[in-house]
Amino acid sequence: MGKILDLGMTNTQHSGWNIADDGIKVETTDYSIPVGPYDWEIRGFCAPCNNGWMNDLDIAAEDTLVRLINGSNGKITMEESTVIANWAAKTAAVRSLFDKGTNHVVRSDLDWMHAKHSIPQHWQVWIGRSSLAPERRVFTRHFRMAVAQPEGYERVHVTVLAQNRLAVIVRGTEVLPYPAGDPTFQSWSISPIAETERRIVEIFRHGPHSADMKGRGKLTRKDLIEVSSRIGTSSSSRIETYP
C-alpha cells in the first residue's frame, strides 16, 4: 500500500460518538493520532488476517483509491465500486475498534467479512469529493446509534473515511427478525440520503453500482460531520428479505 501510505502518514484526525450502557446516550470524542488509515490493523485478529485477506482488499483497491484521492472526478465502474466497498467495509470495521465503549461493528458482520472477504450485503457505501485543510489531510469519524424499529432497537453505525479529495461514507446496520419471532424473514433499514444530497453518490446497496463523480460539490470536515449525522439519524425505508 505504498502509494496510499505516502499520502496518509500525516496526523489522522478522528471524531466519533460512544454509546453509553443504556444504548441511547452518546458523547462526542475528537482526537488525533500520527498514523494514516491505511496502516491500521485489528489487533484481536490473527496475523494471517491482517497480512492476508485484509491486505489483499487494500491492494485490490489501491489504484482506484489513489486516483480518487488525487481528485479524479470521472466515472466509476461496478468493478471499481466493488473493490472500494469491500475495502471501505474492512476499514470501517477496523476504525470501529479505535474508540472506547460499545462502538464495534456487530459480531455477525465481522464474521461475514472474515468468511467472505467482502462487504455485508445490507450495508451501504457512498463516495464524494472532500476538501480538507492542508494540515489535516486525513479525517475519520465513526458513531453508532440505537434506532427504534417495530421489531426492536436496530443498531446502526456510520463511518467516514476522508483523505485529500476523496470521502467514503459507510453505513451498516444490525439485521433484525421480521416480524418478531418469525425466522422466515429478516429486516433492516436503508438511508435514502443520496436522493436529496447531491454531493455524494451511492456505490453500494445490495450490490455495487456504477457512479459518476462529475459535478459533485466538495465536502469540508464540517460538511462530512453533518452529512454522516443525517445518514445515521434520518428516516429510512424498510427492507425485508429471506435469510
DSSP bridge pairs for 135: none
CA distance 134 to 131: 9
Say if CB 83 and CB 64 are below 8 A apart.
yes
Above pLDDT 90, what percent of the chain? 30
* Cell triple for 63: 489504484
* Cell triple for 237: 425505508
- Where does the pLDDT of residue 111 fall: very low under 50, low under 70, confident under 90, or very high at 90 and above? confident
203 versus 133: the higher-pLDDT residue is 203
- Evaluate the CA torsion angle 53, 54, 57, 62 in order and state its sign: negative
SS3 assignment, position 120: coil
Least confident of 58-72, 77-91, 145-159: 145-159
Q: For the whole model, what pTM was predicted? A: 0.82
SS3 assignment, position 2: helix
- Where does the pLDDT of residue 186 fall: very low under 50, low under 70, confident under 90, or very high at 90 and above? low
Q: What is the pLDDT of residues 76-106, one digit of tens each?
A: 999 999 999 999 999 898 888 776 656 578 8
- Evaluate the CA torsion angle 89, 223, 103, 49 in order and state its sign: positive
CA distance 227 to 221: 10
152: region left, alpha or beta (phi > 0 left; psi from -120 to 50 alpha): left
Q: What is the pLDDT of residues 47-61, one digit of tens each?
A: 555 557 888 888 899
